[in-house]
Amino acid sequence: MAPMQNNQKLILGSSSSSAASTSSLNIENFNSQNFFHGANNKDKMEAETRIQHHEANNISERGEKVTKGDKKIKRHRFAFQTRSHVDILDDGYRWRKYGQKAVKNSKFPRSYYRCTHKGCNVKKQIQRLSKDEEIVVTTYEGMHSHPLEKTTDSFEQILQQLQTPAPS
C-alpha cells in the first residue's frame, strides 16, 4: 500500500520478547527526581511509587538497526512501578500515543507513547498489572535532551512527601 519511510524503519526492529515480562523484576529504590516532574492524579497522596531500574541487559539491548558490526547497543530502559488509579502520569513532557496492544500476561492493553519533540525520540510504555489494576508500570526508553514544556513540579514534591512525614 503506501510506501513507508525508510528513515523510520531504521528504528524499527526493537524486540523485547521477554517470556516472563512484568513478572518478577528487581525493585530497588531509585532517585526519581530526575525522571518525574509532575502528576495530575487525584490519588497522588496515596501514590506509592516504586522504581525498578534495570539495565537493558535483561531485555533486548538492541535499538537501531545497525548493519553488521556493532551489535551491542545500550538501551536505557527504566521501569517505574507506580500505584495509582490513573495510568496517565504527567512527567512534564508531551507524549503522543502511537499504539496500543494487549499483552498476554495482562488483561489490560499496553499503551505506547512517544515524546513529541524534534529529535527527542524518547519512548514510553504504560502497562497496568492484571493482578493489581492499581499498579501502573511506566517504562521509559531513551533520554530527553530538551527542557520540560510544563512547569509542574508537583510530583517531585509528592515524592518528597512520600519519603518524609507530611506536615499536619
Partner DNA sequence: CGAATTTGACCAGCGC
Partner DNA sequence: GCGCTGGTCAAATTCG
**Closest to DNA by CB, 103 or 143:** 103
User: Please, what is the minimum distance in Å from the beta carbon of residue 81 to DNA?
Assistant: 16
C-alpha cell at 159: 515524592
**Closest to DNA by CB, 137 or 159:** 137
Give per-residue burial for 101-139: e unless 16+ CB within 10 Å, then b: eeeeebeeebbbbbbeeeeeebbbbbbbbeeeeebbbbb
**Closest to DNA by CB, 70 or 168:** 70
Q: Which residues bind DNA (CB under 7 A)?
A: 1-2, 4-5, 8-9, 11-17, 19, 21, 60, 65, 94-105, 110, 112, 114, 116, 123, 125
User: Please, what is the minimum distance in Å from the beta carbon of residue 130 to DNA?
Assistant: 12
User: Please, what is the minimum distance in Å from the beta carbon of residue 155 to DNA?
Assistant: 18
Side-chain half-sphere of 93: how many Cα atoms within 13 Å? 23
